Chain A
């Protein structure tokens, strides 16, 4: 449904995208995971025909982003990273405006947004600028869906949104996917990555890895330990000095330590005890996508 092949894009000296390639199958919920500045927004702007790539090719449903830009603009639903609806128009007016611009009506496609819009209904006379962050995103999603797009492109839709709204938002995306909609979504949140069918880990304009979230986690090449102790910060500092460590980073109120495969629990415990760490609890765990990402980023 979406193909990206060897896309390059530079802004002056900075190379934002370096020969980026990936494919999204029809009906997939595809995640682009990466930190700020990885090139995600640049890629979205190329796919939505707002920006021309220096080289490489990209198609949406067989339509070339360069040649068929007019057709693409009719069939793509886009939610930019920054809230881009009219703050001084009401919820209803925004929706109506975008429906009309796409030569359709809210009534005609209401079934597409029914679930989402239901939550907005009580505020339909309110100005978009007066909505909460989560509500704004729901409105933006409604506006992106109102013309029945075949592909949905969402650039960091949950940044700046509270955890509950984030969860709701992803439930909506899952529902839309069940309706057969192809969705490409970018996010800096690694927990959201696990909700995608397939993810591409992006950094510095390059793709580090592409796979299902499960396979990515399984392919973790090291042994992973979760270590709990009295002082998380102190433990982390001490573990960074550990000879057999691959990486160590804080993960909530515990430390995740990746080590060589021959390391065992006893070795870590005695090392920590020697350094004077108290109340140590060590557990071998399965790697999550975040561990893989941290490992790849090194």
Chain B
């Protein structure tokens, strides 16, 4: 026990004596959390639109006005040349072209079907899709209004849908993103701190002296793991305070549950770091390896793109992704108030992998070459 404690004490001294380490641990994550939470907004706004009006009627002008007034669109120009519009798309000044044909208002008034064309720059597919959606909504609403105004009877039966968004009724993207970004921060700190640690002792040669001592493998691994676990928990607490009081993210669930799960998760991530550290021989190797896993885990965590929209093989792959489980749990517990019974699967997977990876780390840490 004393041996473990002296290692813990040594690690803390080394971390806090490193002048760069304090800001890295306590200022950088706070900045990341705040900056990323404000910037990772999935609502698309500022869509530049060109309206190609061949009708020049009061009706086409009224539609143009409706679009220009919407909060999503910037009306760049109204013109009547497709070539001009196309050129502007090429120059990246316009995202969407809306073409109102001749006889637009005439056809509308006489109750005939009329067509409007929309062209969207689909380099950014998500943005194009969302722009089309917005535009279709505006046009549909406009045509209903016009129909009511003119009193034309249309024989189209309609189903009216009523929607309500549960757990996040205002669709505040921050409620969704902040807990997720908190997960990232805790993961990055834990993985990199532990991943760089043992390999650093290899690089500076201290491991040579340490290996000739009667320290047992488990004492060594536990002594290395504990300080980072404590730092990770402090980090998580700071992030949680910012999420709750700065971003006003609701907290529906149980604090003990989320803390308990975070400890479990950290043991898993730290074990991964230790494992990386034991199999590499320089900090550079460890850094690349840690980044490799980090990028895959982050992008396939369901944080930025929903797992449901991934191909099946990729969805299966995310079952091995610890970040996925933590992102799900933190959202479930914080926003939905899920209890332990709802996240039993997550708990068992993370606990199982934590045990496995730490055993692996202990095995691969060899005191003899």
Contacts and interface: CB of A to CB of B under 8 A. Distances in A.
Given A49-B212, A101-B6, A102-B214, A84 B206 contact: yes
Interface string A48-92: 111110000000000000000110011010101011111111000
Nearest to A78: B212
A265 B65 CA distance: 117
A13 interface: no
B209 A85 contact: yes
B10 interface: yes
A84 B14 CA distance: 15
A50 B18 contact: no
Contact of A88 (B2, B3, B17): B17
A87 B204 contact: yes
Per DSSP, chain B at the interface is helix
A73 B17 contact: no
A51 B368 CA distance: 5
A48 to B, nearest CB: 5
Contacts of B10: 86, 89, 93, 97
Interface residues of A, number: 30
Contact of B3 (A83, A96, A100): A100
Contact of A50 (B13, B214, B215, B368): B368
Contacts of A85: 206, 209
A45 B369 contact: yes
Contacts of B206: 84-86
A103 interface: yes
A187 B2 CA distance: 36
Contacts of A89: 10, 13-14
A102 B2 CA distance: 10
B213 interface: yes
Nearest to A74: B214
A86 B14 contact: yes
Contact of B368 (A69, A84, A97, A143): A69
A86 B3 CA distance: 16
Most chain B C-beta atoms within 10 Å of own C-beta, residue among A50, A51, A78, A87: A50
B13 A88 contact: yes
Contacts of A84: 204-209
B150 to A, nearest CB: 82
A105 to B, nearest CB: 10
Contacts of A143: 209
A98 interface: yes
- Residue of B2, B17, B214 with highest tally of chain A CB at under 10 A: B214
Nearest to A66: B368
Given A50-B212, A80-B209, A84-B208, 13 more contacts: A45-B369, A48-B212, A49-B212, A49-B368, A50-B369, A73-B213, A84-B204, A87-B204, A89-B10, A93-B10, A97-B10, A101-B214, A103-B214
11 contacts: A50-B208, A51-B368, A80-B208, A80-B209, A83-B205, A84-B207, A86-B206, A89-B13, A89-B14, A97-B10, A103-B2
Interface of B: 2-3, 6, 10, 13-14, 17-18, 204-215, 367-369
